[in-house]
C-alpha cells in the first residue's frame, strides 16, 4: 500500500475531481459519509454524546458533514467551530450552512479558553480541527484546546490525521498534538503514522477508500510502501515439487561467544524454520555441544578458540551468511570479520556486534561487501550513522548510507523500516511482545534463510521482516505479549507462511 505525501494527496484530490467530473463538495460528502458509516456501525444508534471539533478548513468541513449525517440519523451531537482564523474554506462554509437545515442547534463557536465545553469519559470526541493542511504548530488557545481534549477520558477519533501532526514533516511541538485513540484517514496512510516520534499520537488507524483516481495513484512514486499481507503474498516463491535440499541453499550462521551461544541457536533455528535447505552454525568451541543438542538438524563448525570467534574457516560455499549475533567486539573477532568480508562473496546479513564493529572501525566499514543487509536497532543505527535531529533526517541519512554502500538497511522497532537506496518500506506486522531478548537474532536467521532460497536482498528483507512480525503476532494472540519469547516467534514462522494464503485478499485501494 502506498504512503503518500500531503502534496500528492491534494493532487490526487484535484485529478479525481477533474476525471470523475465531481465537485470538491461531492468528494467531501464521500469522505464525511465514510466516517459517518464507520461511526454508525459502531454506535448502532446509541445516542452517546458526540462532540465534533471542526476547524475552518476542509478538515473542519469533513467534521461538519459527519455532524449533519449523525444528526439526521438521530444521534446526540454537539458541533463546535474552532475559530482559529477568519479564512474559512468554501467547503467548510457550505457544510456549516447545511447544519441549519437539520437542527436548531447552531454550532458553538470557540474563540478562547472560556468557551471549552465539559467532556465526560462517556463521550466521543471527534477531532476535525486540522488535517493535512496544517502549516505550523498550533499555538495559544488552540493548543490549549488540544491539550484540554487530550486530558479528557472520552474516546477520541481523529479525521484524516490527528490535529497538530504534519503528514510528512517533523513534529515541532509535541504538546500541541491531539492524542487520538483511533484515526480514520482518507485513501492512503501518511508517513507520520509510522515514525517513532509521531506514530504514538495516531494509535490505531484505518484507511478509508474515498475513490480517488486509481490511475493517478498507481503511477505515483510514493514516499514509502507499507508492506501488508498483499505485498507479502506477492513476494512468496512457490516450492517446486521436485525440489531437494540443495535447491534451498546452505546458510552459514556466524554467532555466539561464551554466555551468548543462544544467539547462534536462535538464528540457526530461524534459518531452518523459514526454509533454508542446510544450516551450518559457526561458533566458538564452547558452543559445539549446545548447538548439536538443541538443533540436531544443524551442522556445526567451530573456531579454534573456546570462547570467542577469531578466524572463520569453513569447508563449503555458503549461499548466504548471517553474522554478528552475540559475537562481542573483541579485536580478534573484528579481524575475523574483516577477513570474512575480504574472502566471501555470498550475500550477508549483518547484525548486532558485527554492526558495532563496523561502527567502531571505519576501515572495516569500507570493506563491507556490496549487497549486504544491515539490521540495526535504533541504538546500533546511531553508532553507525551518527545522531539525527528528527525521524525525517534519520531516514535521509540512512538513504545516503544505503546508496553509498549499496546495502539494505533494516531499522528495527515498531513499524520496522526497510531502506534501500532511495526507497522506503514500512512493515505492518509485529507487536510489543517482540521487545524481548533474541527476537533480533531470529530475524537475522530468518532473512539469511530467505536469501538461501533465492529471494534477492530486498525481497528477503521485506518478506523476512513481515513473516517475523506475523509470527510474533500469532504467538502474542495465543500467549500474550508478556510471555512471548524469541523462540515463540521462530515456532510460529510456519503458521505465518500458512496464513499468507488463508485469507484471499485483494489489494486495498
Ligand atoms: N485532499 C483530499 O484528498 C481530501 C481532503 N479532505 C479533507 O481536507 C483536509 C485538508 O483541508 P485543508 O487543505 O483545507 O486544510 P486543513 O487541514 O483543514 O487546515 C487548513 C487551515 O488551517 C490553517 N492553519 C494551518 N496551520 C495552522 C495553525 N497552526 N494555526 C492556525 N491555523 C492554521 C490554514 O491557514 P494558513 O496555513 O493558510 O494560514 C488553513 O486555513 C484533509 O485533511 C481532509 O480532512 C477531504 O474532505 C476530501 C479529500
Ligand atoms: N514494539 C514493537 N513492535 C513491533 N516489533 C518490535 C517491537 N519491539 C521489538 N520489535 C521487533 O523485535 C526485534 C528486536 O530486535 P533487537 O532489538 O535486535 O533484539 P535482540 O538484540 O534482543 O535480538 C526486531 O525485529 C523488532 O522490530
Ligand atoms: K484532524
Is 227 within 8 Å of 6 (Cβ atoms)? no
Distance (angstroms) between ligand 2 centre and the Cα of 440 equals 6
Residues 459 and 453: their CA atoms lie apart, in Å, by: 11
Q: Tell how far CA 476 is from the center of its chain.
A: 18
Q: What is the spatial distance between Cα 493 and Cα 486, in angstroms, rounded to a whole number?
A: 11
Query: 509 pLDDT band (50/70/90 cuts)?
Result: very low
pTM for this predicted structure: 0.95
**What is the separation of C-alpha 291 from the centre of its chain, rounded to a whole number of angstroms?**
34
Residue 236 in this model has a pLDDT that exceeds 50: yes
In angstroms, what is the span from residue 79 Cα to ligand 2's centroid? 43
When pLDDT is averaged across residues 204-231 and rounded to a whole number, the result is 97
Q: What is the ipTM of this complex?
A: 0.94
CATH (one of 3.40.1190.20, 3.30.390.50, 3.30.390.10, 2.40.50.140) for 232-499: 3.40.1190.20
Percent of the chain with pLDDT over 70: 99
User: What's the average model confidence in pLDDT over 97-111?
Assistant: 94
Q: Quick check: 225 pLDDT over 50?
A: yes
Across the chain, mean pLDDT equals 96
Phi then psi for residue 159, to 5 deg, are -95, 125
Question: Nearest to residue 128, comparing CAs of 145, 111, 103?
Answer: 145
> What nine digits make up the cell of 466?
513481515
Please list every protein residue whose CB sits less than 6 Å from any atom of ligand 2.
Answer: 352, 377, 412-414, 416, 430-432, 434-435, 437-441, 443, 468
Closest-CA residue, ligand 2 atom 22, reads 437
Taking CA atoms, 238 is separated from 112, 280, 443, 497, 505, in Å, by: 62, 24, 21, 11, 18
Lowest mean pLDDT among 139-143, 277-281, 299-303, 361-365: 361-365
Nearest-atom index, ligand 2, CA of 468: 25
The confidence band for 107, taking pLDDT boundaries of 50, 70 and 90, is very high
Domain parsing of the chain, residue ranges: 12-218, 232-499
The reply to whether ligand 1 has any atom less than 6 angstroms from the CB of 323 is no
Q: DSSP string covering 323-379, please?
A: E-TT----HHHHHHHHHHHHH--S-EEE-HHHHHHHHH-HHHHHTPPTT-EE---HH
106 to each of 76, 94, 100, 112, 343, how far by Cα in Å? 14, 14, 7, 18, 76
User: Residue ranges of the alpha helices (H) in 204-248?
Assistant: 214-219, 229-235
* CATH architecture assignment, domain 12-218: 3-Layer(aba) Sandwich (3.40)
pLDDT tens across 290-334, in order?
999 999 999 999 999 999 999 999 999 999 999 999 999 999 999
Q: Is pLDDT above 70 for 508? A: no
pLDDT value, residue 504 = 55
> 173-188: per-residue pLDDT in tens?
999 999 999 999 999 9
Q: How confident is the model at residue 507 (pLDDT cuts 50, 70, 90)?
A: low
Half-sphere exposure of 481 (CA within 13 A, CB side): 5
396 against 245, higher pLDDT: 396
Pocket test for ligand 2, best of 430, 432, 446, 447 (most atoms within 8 A of CB): 430
Q: Which ligand is nearest to the CA of 8?
A: 1
Q: Nearest ligand, CA of residue 139?
A: 1
Q: Which of the ligands is closest to the CA of residue 16?
A: 1
Nearest atom within ligand 2 for CA of residue 415: 4
Radius of gyration for the chain, computed over Cα atoms and rounded to the nearest angstrom = 26
CB 213 near ligand 1, within 6 Å: no
* Mean pLDDT on 124-149: 98
Distance 475 CA to ligand 3 centre (A): 34
> pLDDT exceeding 90 applies to what percent of the chain?
97
CA of 132 to the centre of ligand 3 (A): 8
Which of 256, 353, 412, 492 is the pocket-test mutation for ligand 2 (most atoms within 8 Å of CB)? 412
Say what angle helices 90-99 and 58-72 make with each other, to 10 degrees: 20
Q: Are 478 and 437 in contact (CB under 8 A)?
A: no
Choose the weakest-confidence range: 235-244, 288-297, 452-461.
235-244
DSSP E strand boundaries for 421-500? 423-427
| 13 in contact with ligand 1, CB cutoff 6 A | yes
| Residue nearest (by alpha carbon) to ligand 2 atom 26 | 413
Amino acid at each position: 500500500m502506498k504512503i503518500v505525501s500531503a502534496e500528492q494527496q491534494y493532487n490526487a484530490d484535484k485529478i479525481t475531481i477533474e476525471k470523475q467530473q465531481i465537485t470538491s463538495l461531492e468528494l467531501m460528502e464521500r469522505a464525511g459519509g465514510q466516517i459517518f458509516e464507520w461511526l454508525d456501525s459502531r454506535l448502532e444508534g446509541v445516542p452517546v454524546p458526540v462532540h465534533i471539533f471542526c476547524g475552518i478548513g476542509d478538515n473542519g468541513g469533513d467534521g461538519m458533514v459527519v455532524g449533519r449525517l449523525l444528526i439526521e440519523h438521530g444521534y446526540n451531537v454537539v458541533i463546535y467551530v474552532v475559530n482559529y482564523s477568519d479564512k474559512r474554506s468554501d467547503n467548510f462554509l457550505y457544510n456549516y450552512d447545511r447544519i441549519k437545515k437539520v437542527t436548531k442547534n447552531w454550532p458553538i463557536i470557540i474563540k478562547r479558553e472560556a468557551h471549552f465545553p465539559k467532556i465526560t469519559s462517556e463521550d466521543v470526541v471527534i477531532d476535525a480541527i486540522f488535517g493535512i493542511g496544517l502549516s505550523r504548530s498550533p499555538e495559544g488557545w488552540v493548543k490549549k484546546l488540544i491539550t484540554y481534549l487530550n486530558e479528557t477520558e472520552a474516546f477520541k477519533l481523529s479525521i484524516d490525521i490527528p490535529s497538530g501532526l504534519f503528514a510528512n514533516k517533523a513534529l515541532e511541538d509535541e504538546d500541541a498534538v491531539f492524542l487520538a485513540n483511533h484515526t480514520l484517514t482518507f485513501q492512503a496512510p501518511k508517513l507520520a503514522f509510522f515514525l517513532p516520534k509521531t506514530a504514538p499520537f495516531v494509535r490505531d488507524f484505518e484507511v478509508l477508500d474515498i475513490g480517488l483516481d486509481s490511475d493517478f495513484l498507481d503511477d505515483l512514486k510514493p514516499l514509502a510502501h507499507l508492506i501488508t499481507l498483499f505485498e507479502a503474498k506477492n513476494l512468496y516463491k512457490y516450492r517446486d515439487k521436485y525440489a531437494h535440499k540443495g535447491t534451498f541453499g546452505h546458510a552459514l550462521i556466524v554467532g555466539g561467544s561464551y554466555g551468548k551461544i543462544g544467539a547462534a541457536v536462535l538464528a540457526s533455528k530461524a534459518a531452518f524454520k523459514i526454509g533454508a535447505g542446510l544450516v551450518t552454525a559457526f561458533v566458538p568451541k564452547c558452543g559445539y555441544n549446545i548447538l548439536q543438542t538443541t538443533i540436531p538438524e544443524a551442522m556445526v563448525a567451530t573456531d579454534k578458540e573456546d570462547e570467542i570467534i577469531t578466524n572463520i574457516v569453513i569447508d563449503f560455499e555458503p549461499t548466504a551468511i548471517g553474522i554478528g549475533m552475540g559475537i562481542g567486539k573483541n579485536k580478534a573477532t573484528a579481524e575475523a570479520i574483516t577477513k570474512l568480508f575480504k574472502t566471501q562473496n555470498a550475500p550477508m546479513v549483518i547484525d548486532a556486534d558485527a554492526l558495532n564493529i563496523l561502527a567502531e572501525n571505519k576501515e572495516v566499514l569500507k570493506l563491507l561487501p556490496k549487497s549486504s543487509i544491515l539490521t540495526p536497532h535504533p541504538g546500533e543505527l546511531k553508532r553507525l550513522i551518527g545522531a539525527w535531529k528528527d525521524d525525517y533526517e534519520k531516514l535521509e541519512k540512512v538513504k545516503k548510507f544505503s546508496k553509498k554502500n549499496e546495502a539494505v538497511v533494516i531499522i528495527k522497532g515498531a513499524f520496522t523500516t526497510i531502506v534501500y537506496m532511495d526507497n522506503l518500506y514500512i512493515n505492518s506486522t509485529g507487536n510489543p511482545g517482540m521487545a524481548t531478548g533474541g527476537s533480533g537474532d531470529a530475524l537475522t536467521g530468518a532473512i539469511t534463510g530467505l536469501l538461501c532460497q533465492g529471494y534477492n536482498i530486498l525481497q528477503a528483507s521485506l518478506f523476512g521482516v513481515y513473516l517475523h512480525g506475523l509470527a510474533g503476532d500469532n504467538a502474542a494472540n495465543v500467549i500474550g505479549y508478556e510471555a512471548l519469547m524469541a523462540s515463540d516467534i521462530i515456532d510460529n514462522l510456519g503458521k505465518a507462511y500458512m496464513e499468507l494464503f488463508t485469507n484471499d485478499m485483494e489489494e486495498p485501494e
